[in-house]
Structure 1
């Protein structure tokens, strides 16, 4: 029943005052203002204020609620993700109404089907919104974009790290940094912090590795002006013997291991663990390693492993504790990672919409520090805006800690 009500195309105004929860805005740092620009002052009655219209396209898959229908495990996971994201986003909007802002949030079931995404792209209620949030998955984003070539309103890709180059939509805002920005950030760390003279790139032989290796090499070559040597090496059954003559016993040997293949990683990491008995090692890993359960924290710590991440939630921080309390009070549930992202994005885009006086949002002019990540957007004419901020994490005391 909650899903059916939440996803109705009917306009559902957000209350202009916080309902039960305390205003949750302090749970994240406010959007930075341009230098010397005073904060916007709201003095007129709420009823006379601008109402920002937001269309949210999420994969609730409500057809599975029909007689004879049934949710598969995958569909249920997608629906749960959609509900959790919506709840976080709406909590942020409810918080912002305490500042006198007004919103009209409309939910649509994108059903995780490209055909449905194309249909929604032609829906007047969607096209006339000030902001479109979703679809979530790449196929839906691509299908939706083909139907809105004349629509200049901003469209948020809220959860997908897919490269915006695949969509060619100048109105797209990609919130989750794509993989190439992780690779570039790692290259910057290797050059600026490690000051490495050479980097050993351990390849699995699968072409998937190149999605990380190529932008890493481009960035490192650019920063070092080709002075940092990149040594590619395809590892076969964990054998690193051919590299030994090139290794230093006095200075750290920097290795890049861009694979996520379980069998390859387990064999190669064991070989590196043997290597550190005679050679100092620093290992640069893939951002997906954070969620790979088969990787052991003690081994990665011995290898002085560093990875990048677009998510780093400090559950002990005061702002996070305040958010959790507010979320529990509103929904009687624990917030998931999708609820946290929904809150951060609702707070950021809700404030941008409310304070925009030009009719054209400019995310590239407003940085933001949320609960799960910082937002620093850059704009490219053909592919829209993309958040470029990623954290550098290192294994300390058998857990990942932010170092930059």
Structure 2
């Protein structure tokens, strides 16, 4: 694999040099033959025999063709020039970029072991809207086979506004921003937006739980409609309105008006779309108190996984479920193989960004290697990775959207995957 970086200013001798050495060392790393090779599969393929084993990648590649991938990351190399320093925020973005790059490149190195060939070009967006807009006019980027990045929504918007005509896919690798924000038919949104978390929860409830009634407990903030609207639409559609949705705003945690509607023999399903700490502490306490008399199951916002102020014991008593795209199963054999390969290549532990980079590198790298045009139709290819799975739909004017989310439940003071 050949790696090419865009021109950058000379580096100073400050301590952040390690950030950029990681890029150089990665570029010079030998071709690896790591064992983890999750397969890209069509929807007609049979599932693997066991969850720990993945079928090997078939050698259906052309040694003659070189796939050109342009990666646009907020490295902020201008901060490394003489008398310049990184702020904590800038350094965080640069480290995230390096971690994602290293995972992506490890995937490409895996595929070169079966004869694939890539030219990976790295460009610095500087997390600057003007720079992102300028890069969209760069012929080196436009003429390649695949564009990965920019990372942040404002940069994506500026970049895709230039490349609006029908062309090859532009991958938005990390942002969960709704593709309706960008209105670009070429965009590939890898991280499912919030509405697909809501739809995933509604689908699980309608198909698996099958309650007669669902209660949505709102705090009164308008942003909760981004979750509640697609949730209600999906559950109404799937149940043909046989599941009653009670949408109510709760004040000071008072659930008394709902008690006459509760069932003391069947699970009462509560949806809590809020992310506000004050509201959550009060409402979860009220639900916990109510659960002493009524069976209760709670479905929460996907961001709850990040909130240290929530009490695991309480969430467990409430049979709390959340949706997620970030659950790594460290017990799987393929995960451990990836960890060993990553440590061998970079002498450090992989972060979530590195794992995401690896999954995405494997997915697009194999599609590019196997079929010169197949990667232009992600909706025809499903993928089961280490970090998340990919199941794309294509929406007019919005491009391709990964809609796969996992359903997790609090058990034994941990989040366990139930679907």
TM bin (shorter chain): over 0.9
- Aligned equivalent of 1:244, options 237, 249, 259: 259
Q: Output aligned runs, 1:175-324, within 5 Å.
A: 175-324=190-339
Partner of 2:54: none
Q: Output aligned runs, 1:2-401, within 5 Å.
A: 3-4=19-20, 19=30, 21=32, 23-24=33-34, 26-33=35-42, 41-42=60-61, 46=63, 49-150=64-165, 152-358=167-373, 361-401=376-416
CA distance in structure 2 between the partners assigned to 1:258 and 1:320 by the alignment: 32
Whether the 8 Å contact between 1:14 and 1:104 is mirrored in structure 2 is: no
Whether the 8 Å contact between 2:150 and 2:156 is mirrored in structure 1 is: yes
Which stretches in structure 2 are left out of the alignment for 5+ residues?
Answer: 1-16, 46-56
Shift of 1:29: 2.1
Size of the aligned set, in residue pairs, is 392
Q: Which runs of 4+ in 1 moved over 6 A?
A: 5-8, 12-15
Q: 1:19 to 1:39 in 2, by over 3 A?
A: closer
Q: 1:360 to 1:283 in 2, by over 3 A?
A: closer
SS in 2 for 1:282: strand
Q: Quote the RMSD (CA, aligned, Å).
A: 2.1
Shift of 1:239: 1.1
Q: Deviations over 1:175-198 (max 9, x none)?
A: 111111110111111111111111
SS in 1 for 2:264: coil
Whether the 8 Å contact between 1:204 and 1:264 is mirrored in structure 2 is: yes
SS in 2 for 1:212: helix
Matched, 1:402 2:417: yes
Shift of 1:129: 1.1
CA distance in structure 2 between the partners assigned to 1:332 and 1:360 by the alignment: 32
SS in 2 for 1:32: strand
Which stretches in structure 1 are left out of the alignment for 5+ residues?
Answer: none
SS in 2 for 1:205: coil
Shift of 1:41: 3.4
CA distance in structure 2 between the partners assigned to 1:57 and 1:292 by the alignment: 30
CA distance in structure 2 between the partners assigned to 1:90 and 1:112 by the alignment: 21
Whether the 8 Å contact between 1:238 and 1:267 is mirrored in structure 2 is: yes
Q: 1:359 to 1:20 in 2, by over 3 A?
A: closer
CA distance in structure 1 between the partners assigned to 2:99 and 2:148 by the alignment: 14
TM-score by length of 1: 0.92
Shift of 1:287: 0.7
